[in-house]
Chains A and B, each alone.
Chain A
Amino acid sequence: MTSGFKLSRRSLLQGSAALGAASLASGLPFSPAHAKDVAIGFIYVGPRDDFGYNQAHAQGAAALKKLGGFKVLEEENVPETVAVEKTMESMINLDGAALVFPTSFGYYNPHMIKLAKKYEKVRFLHCGGLWSDKDPANAGSYFGYIDEAQYLSGIVAGYTSKTGKLGFIAAKPIPQVLRNINAFTLGAKLANPNVTTQVIFTGDWSMPVKEAEATNGLINQGVDVVTCHVDSPKVIAETAEKRGIMVCGYHVDQSKLAPKGYLTGAEWNWEALYPKLAKSVQGGEKLPNLVRGGLKEGVVKTSAYGALVQDKARKHADDIKAKLTAGSYVIFKGPIKDNKGNTVIGAGTERGQTDIELEKMNYLVEGVLGALA
């Protein structure tokens, strides 16, 4: 009983502290109660255990929790509407967040920009790489060149596929996604020049039923390795395993879902980036406005190889990985043709990791079966 009484009194105090802070509200991001630990908010667009995009971010948040010295605030399933503005504001006003990570692409404009202008002392870091110098200085953006990891997945898939038919299930034909499809296919062609990648667009980021249908449809056409770019690869990995084909993961490690057929995967490495960024806020340093990187910068990584990956594939992929990590390898190197026969990158042209042209990608390379809309 006594402990029960203590608990309720404490919660009452907490509640009134929060109320007090909220009613004072407007500009002050800190309430004295939280002055010790820096409060950091993470906002996810889907469930944090989705075996995909959101889980990758939640793993980054978990790494921060383990570190200690931070109060980690998390909210999942927050839509890209006023809801996310209110969530950020609530984290700032009621929990004293000093740094907020709105992790979904659509949170940026107008939502995060609006809040960054309103709360100048709070730092905002968005996943998507959109920041430009017209945006507020307390806002920032980060993203990873995950096509490098997809390229390595492609090499492994190209060696391992027996039918020479690969499948790619993608949400929307937007530049980010096309870059992954193309990198995967170019990688696979290093291993087997005759390989094809059949692509299916599901139309949206989270369409589990369509994704399962697409996986089954691809398998029925003779595809024996699938990969994807959707928010949660869970259904795809499980369906592939059940039907006895192989799968390359995306976002996080899905080897648990497909213990037999999992080859490798392209993963985010937010566990490395988030503690780095959080520590610099803790130390009062100025945060960079734009953070981008690939394998070299440790922003992305690959899953461990599965049992089915032969030595030849491992060796080739490891070799390219070493070059990419050293920064001495270019994936999009001309001549590259699209799948309609037009030259999209001319002979002698190298489009490196940071080339801005790659961010406007609107084609599928030769070897990809499928069309944009």
Chain B
Amino acid sequence: MEASPVKLDNGTARWQDILRSGAEAVAVPLLAVLGALVVFGIFVSLAGVNPFETYNLMYAGAFGSWFSWQNTLTRAAPLILTALCCALPAQLGMVVIGGEGALVIGGLAAAAISQTLPDAAPLVVQLAMAMAAMAAGAAWIALAGGLRHWRGVNETIASLLLVYIAIAVFNHLVEGLLRDPASLNKPSTPHIGDANMLSTIPGTDIHWGLAYGIIACVLAYILIYRTTFGFGMRVAGGNVKAARMVGLPVGKLVLVACGLAGAAAGLAGMVEVAAVHGKANASLIVGYGYTGILVAFLARHNPLAIIPVAILLGGIGASGGLLQRRLGLPDATVLVLQGLIFIAILTSEVLYGRLPWLKKVKA
């Protein structure tokens, strides 16, 4: 509302339109989130809890202090990368939901390659881990893209089923060939070594994965909106037949988009190994890949919008604990809010071009 174009009486029509669509892109999701919060308030009142106390606590738990902010951002970090895994192929009209598989395979590849470099400098090991994880993740999602392009297999189903295969391969290797014999009751790969661990961003306890995610989002934005390759992606996403008619290499676009998507999720797996666990084990399989799908859809597959949306979901996750402890609400409460926000954002699509004070001015 503060960005209402009416105040800028001397702006050109083009600038007005950019401002208008920008304000719309902010106002519509905000309205949707507000709507979801109202419904959520009714839901918690039905559970016998004061909704305003709930909002208050959620704010305190997610954004109310520096500790809460760090909590939120740490939780958001992996989601930014896994959301890209869904958002990039979405430019081509593909619905890839297998980011979890690429994350798991990426984490495994990172942990495995670190074992082959026992004497290398930490930076070399970290680079090798990142490259291995990105390559493995890229191959995994490109497989789903290739199946779609050459064999006509639905990429949604293929990428989902590949998650189960990835987890099975992961468990097989972590509990077998790559197992650290000392990890008795929780099978894991050997530790990558304390020196090789990623550090935290100075002045915080947030690991560098957050920065990687933000850089990846900016790069993805430039790729999609500022390069001919990205233009080709969007054309093919709009109409594949038209894209083929004008001679766009659709197969290449599909494979590269899926590869980049998988690389992002694979990098998320590497960060989990190199910044959090120090080894690959079942703790990697906690659903970051699936939450990433939610983030991507909420961000309408815009890479820059992924960042605030991931922070919002990270904040909801961070505040969940306080709701459990202070108000005795069940853990599922925050899932209810996530679900409500998801539905509200999807329904809010109909509001575009219909908000009274943000309608397109006739030229």
- Chain A residues in contact with chain B, CB under 8 A? 7-8, 11-12, 14-15, 18-19, 22-23, 25, 47, 73-83, 86-87, 89-91, 93-95, 105-106, 110, 128, 172-176, 203-204, 359-360, 373
Q: Which residues of B lie under 8 Å from residue A86 when comparing CB positions? A: 71, 74-75, 318, 321
CB-contact partner of B185 in A12, A81, A175, under 8 A: A175
Q: Which residues of A lie under 8 Å from residue B276 when comparing CB positions? A: 81-82, 110
Contact: A8 with B52, CB < 8 Å? Answer: yes
Q: A83-B317, A90-B321 are in contact. Are A106 and B56 (CB under 8 A)?
A: no
B137 contacts partner chain A, Cβ-Cβ < 8 Å: no
Q: A105-B185, A175-B184 are in contact. Are A77 and B65 (CB under 8 A)?
A: no
Q: Which residues of A lie under 8 Å from residue B186 when comparing CB positions? A: 105-106, 174
With A77-B331, A83-B75 known, 11 other A-B pairs at CB within 8 A are A11-B50, A14-B326, A19-B60, A19-B64, A22-B64, A47-B331, A81-B277, A90-B71, A128-B185, A174-B185, A175-B184
| A118, closest chain B residue (CB) | B205
- Chain B residues in contact with chain A, CB under 8 A? 50, 52-53, 56-57, 60-61, 64-68, 71, 74-75, 171, 175-176, 184-187, 272, 276-278, 281-283, 286-287, 317-318, 321-322, 324-326, 330-331
B342 to chain A minimum Cβ distance, whole angstroms, is 19
| A108, closest chain B residue (CB) | B186
Contact: B75 with A360, CB < 8 Å? Answer: no
Q: Which residues of A lie under 8 Å from residue B318 when comparing CB positions? A: 86, 90
| A88, closest chain B residue (CB) | B321
A354 to chain B minimum Cβ distance, whole angstroms, is 16
Complex Cα gap A204–B174 (Å): 13
Complex Cα gap A127–B53 (Å): 34
Q: Which residues of B lie under 8 Å from residue A373 when comparing CB positions? A: 175-176
A83 to chain B minimum Cβ distance, whole angstroms, is 7
B323 to chain A minimum Cβ distance, whole angstroms, is 10
| A77, closest chain B residue (CB) | B331
Complex Cα gap A362–B165 (Å): 26
Contact: B65 with A15, CB < 8 Å? Answer: no
B301 to chain A minimum Cβ distance, whole angstroms, is 26
Contact: A15 with B56, CB < 8 Å? Answer: yes
| B66, closest chain A residue (CB) | A23
Contact: B60 with A18, CB < 8 Å? Answer: yes
Contact: B185 with A95, CB < 8 Å? Answer: no
Complex Cα gap A359–B326 (Å): 39
Contact: A93 with B283, CB < 8 Å? Answer: no
| B323, closest chain A residue (CB) | A75
| A110, closest chain B residue (CB) | B278
Complex Cα gap A105–B281 (Å): 13
| B56, closest chain A residue (CB) | A15
Q: Which residues of A lie under 8 Å from residue B283 when comparing CB positions? A: 79-81, 106
A322 to chain B minimum Cβ distance, whole angstroms, is 30
Contact: B282 with A204, CB < 8 Å? Answer: yes
Between-chain CB contacts (< 8 Å), 28 pairs: A7-B50, A15-B60, A18-B60, A19-B64, A23-B65, A25-B67, A47-B331, A74-B324, A75-B321, A76-B324, A79-B287, A81-B272, A81-B283, A82-B75, A83-B286, A94-B61, A94-B67, A94-B322, A95-B326, A105-B185, A106-B282, A106-B283, A110-B277, A174-B187, A175-B184, A176-B185, A204-B282, A373-B175
Contact: B325 with A172, CB < 8 Å? Answer: no
CB-contact partner of B325 in A75, A79, A80, under 8 A: A75
Complex Cα gap A22–B60 (Å): 10
The 3 residue pairs across chains A and B that have the minimum distance between CB atoms: A22-B65, A79-B286, A77-B331
| A42, closest chain B residue (CB) | B325
| A360, closest chain B residue (CB) | B184
A132 to chain B minimum Cβ distance, whole angstroms, is 12
| A129, closest chain B residue (CB) | B185
Complex Cα gap A81–B318 (Å): 13
Contact: B325 with A95, CB < 8 Å? Answer: yes
| B275, closest chain A residue (CB) | A82
Contact: A22 with B325, CB < 8 Å? Answer: no
Contact: B187 with A90, CB < 8 Å? Answer: no
